[in-house]
Amino acid sequence: APAILLVDDEPHSLAAMKLALEDDFDVLTAQGAEAAIAILEEEWVQVIICEQRMPGRTGVDFLTEVRERWPETVRIIITGYTDSASMMAAINDAGIHQFLTKPWHPEQLLSSARNAARMFTLARENERLSLEMRLLERP
**pTM of the shown model:** 0.85
| Opening angle at CA 83, ends 57 and 60, nearest 5 | 25
Mean pLDDT within 39-52 = 94
47 DSSP β-pair partners: 4, 74
- Could you tell me which of 4, 28, 6, 14 has the C-alpha nearest to residue 119? 4
What pLDDT is stored for residue 56 in this prediction? 86
What pLDDT is stored for residue 83 in this prediction? 58
Mean pLDDT within 74-103 = 78
Looking at CATH, the fold of the domain delimited by 3-137 is given as: Rossmann fold (3.40.50)
- Could you tell me which of 83, 91, 35 has the C-alpha nearest to residue 59? 91
How far is it, in rounded angstroms, from Cα 70 to Cα 20?
25
Bigger pLDDT: 90 vs 44:
44
**Phi, psi dihedrals of residue 47, rounded to the nearest 5°:** -135, 140
Q: What's the pLDDT tens digit per position in 5-27?
A: 999 999 999 999 999 999 999 99
Q: What's the pLDDT tens digit per position in 67-86?
A: 999 999 999 999 876 656 66
What are the structural domain ranges in the chain?
3-137
